[in-house]
Amino acid sequence: MADEFDPDEMIQRFRERAQAVRNRPLPPVAGPDKKRFLERAQVDFMDFAMIGDATATLEDGILTLRVDLRKA
């Protein structure tokens, strides 16, 4: 599998997922359901964006993602 796996392609897919979450239309929900939907969307975006910003290395079959969480 490691021979076929491209970590840069994986990171690009996570960038695309983050953008899809950001552009996701709000379903016809209200009240607590709307709040839960928005909270979940925020967490999904944050997770996908974090991996989308990662630097990946693949050495000896071990994938390492490096994410800089320091404040700019």
Q: What is the pLDDT of residues 12-46, one digit of tens each?
A: 999 999 999 999 998 898 999 999 999 999 999 99
**71 inside domain:** no
Domain count, the chain: 1
Please state whether the predicted TM-score (pTM) of the whole model is above 0.85.
no
pLDDT of the residue at 7: 94
Q: Which of 56, 54, 52, 49 is nearest to 7 (CA)?
A: 56
In terms of residue numbers, what domain contains 14? 7-66
* pLDDT range class, residue 2, cuts 50, 70, 90: low
Q: What is the rounded CA–CA span in Å between residue 53 and residue 8? A: 11
Q: What is the rounded CA–CA span in Å between residue 63 and residue 11? A: 12
Residue 3 has pLDDT above 80, yes or no: no
**72 inside domain:** no
pLDDT of the residue at 47: 96
